[in-house]
């Protein structure tokens, strides 16, 4: 169960966690058009700080723009509401979930007369794929489900309905004994995890799929910058499933997943079967940054 906190921000007001309710005929609940964000607030050596808040805020509004949702609040109002929600709940570290959804009004596909509503909830969320995932790596399978074609769903937008595809892949992977799924795009190249971007390391260089059928991950972007800063070459390029099999290292990135090593794909060991040296170095550097211990990337933290 999600760990309840005190208050949830709904359309400009704080309501008690248990009273944060919507009507069962809320449009998004039926037709899946809504957009959301996933953001982490970390406990740092200088107090709680939100990781890459401006970038998450920008992506939230871009998602709404792509989805054709007119947000009845300005980015500045939502920025302040996010900070206030973290503060009022007295949490040092938490996951932050802003959601823009279509509320109660008309039924039917035409949503033009349904109100656009906004909610912001926060809760403590530990290691997404388990504590051991971060230290030992996870076992994944290639999904039998394909990631969205670019003109079927808009994957640059974090649209609620995009996650039906993710859930099918996730449930299939878990039911067949794996920790997570990797989805291929319509051309058969590696796309992303159900809630993560993916990187491989081959011959000392990093590869990550280009921004076509995938979410433009903010952790992905951070790891690219960080890896280049540490002197690695990073290619944003397509690669196939068999190249993933013979990678020296592989890992997922995401707000929830952070930097999670992948130790096995389709029952084939990746590299040594342990988190590799490049993955380990990037993971350590990432955690130092989010804990406020690395001044080079201090602009990535918004202290609250």
Give the binding site for ligand PPE (CB under 6 A): 38, 166, 192, 195-197, 215, 217-220, 253-257
Closer residue to ligand PPE in complex, CB, 114/157:
157
Closer residue to ligand PPE in complex, CB, 44/260:
260
Closer residue to ligand PPE in complex, CB, 9/128:
128
Q: In sequence order, what are the residues at sequence separation of 6 or more whose Cβ sits closer than 8 angstroms to the Cβ of residue 110?
A: none
* Catalytic residue (one of 158, 207, 293, 298): 158
Q: How far is the CB of 129 from ligand PPE (least distance, A)?
A: 10
- Sole residue written with tokens 């003109």: 151
Beta strands in the chain (DSSP E): 7-10, 13-16, 34-36, 39-44, 47-51, 94-102, 116-123, 138-142, 180-184, 190-193, 197-202, 205-208, 234-236, 249-254, 258-265, 268-269, 301-303
Q: How far is the CB of 112 from ligand PPE (least distance, A)?
A: 27
Q: At what angle do helices 218-229 and 277-290 cross, to 10 degrees?
A: 110
Q: Taking a C-beta distance cutoff of 8 angstroms, is the pair 249, 278 a contact? A: yes
Q: DSSP string of 251-278? A: EEEETTTEEEEEEEETTEE-TTSS--HH
Q: How far is the CB of 22 from ligand PPE (least distance, A)?
A: 18
Structure-token pair, residue 101: 């959804």
Closer residue to ligand PPE in complex, CB, 114/155:
155
Q: How far is the CB of 213 from ligand PPE (least distance, A)?
A: 10
Instruction: Please name every residue paired with 265 in a beta bridge, in sequence order, or none if there are none.
Output: 140, 268
158 has catalytic annotation? yes
Q: In sequence order, what are the residues at sequence separation of 6 or more whose Cβ sits closer than 8 angstroms to the Cβ of residue 76?
A: none
Closer residue to ligand PPE in complex, CB, 33/114:
33
Q: In sequence order, what are the residues at sequence separation of 6 or more whose Cβ sits closer than 8 angstroms to the Cβ of residue 171?
A: none
Q: How far is the CB of 290 from ligand PPE (least distance, A)?
A: 12
- H helices of 89-185, in order, are 131-136, 162-175
Q: How far is the CB of 44 from ligand PPE (least distance, A)?
A: 19
Closer residue to ligand PPE in complex, CB, 114/179:
179
Alpha carbons within 13 angstroms on the beta-carbon side of residue 302 total 19
Catalytic residue positions? 158
């Amino acid at each position: 169960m999600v760990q309840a906190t005190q208050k949830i921000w709904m359309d400009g007001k704080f309501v008690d966690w248990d009273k944060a309710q919507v009507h069962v005929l809320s449009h998004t609940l039926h037709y899946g058009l809504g957009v959301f964000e996933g953001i982490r607030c970390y406990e740092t050596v200088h107090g709680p700080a939100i990781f890459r808040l401006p970038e998450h805020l920008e992506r939230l509004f871009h998602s709404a723009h792509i989805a054709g949702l007119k947000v009845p609040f300005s980015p500045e109002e939502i920025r302040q509401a996010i900070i206030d929600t973290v503060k009022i709940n007295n949490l040092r570290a938490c996951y932050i979930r802003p959601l823009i959804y279509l509320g109660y009004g008309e039924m039917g596909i035409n949503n033009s007369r349904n109100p656009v509503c906004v909610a912001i909830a926060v809760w403590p969320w530990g290691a997404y794929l388990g504590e051991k995932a971060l230290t030992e790596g996870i076992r994944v399978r290639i999904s039998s489900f394909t990631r969205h074609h670019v003109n079927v769903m808009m994957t640059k937008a974090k649209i609620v309905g995009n996650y039906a595809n993710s859930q099918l892949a996730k449930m299939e992977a878990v039911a067949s004994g794996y920790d997570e799924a990797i989805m291929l795009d319509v051309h058969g190249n590696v796309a992303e995890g159900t809630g993560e971007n993916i990187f491989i390391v081959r011959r000392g260089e990093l590869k990550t799929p280009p921004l076509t059928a995938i979410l433009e991950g903010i952790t992905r972007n951070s790891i690219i910058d960080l890896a280049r800063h540490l002197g690695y070459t990073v290619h944003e390029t397509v690669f196939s499933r068999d190249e993933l099999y013979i990678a020296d290292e592989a890992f997922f990135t995401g707000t929830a997943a952070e930097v999670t090593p992948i130790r096995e794909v389709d029952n084939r060991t990746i590299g040594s079967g342990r988190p590799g040296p490049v993955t380990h170095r990037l993971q350590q550097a990432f955690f130092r940054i989010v804990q406020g211990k690395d001044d080079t990337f201090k602009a990535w933290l918004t202290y609250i």
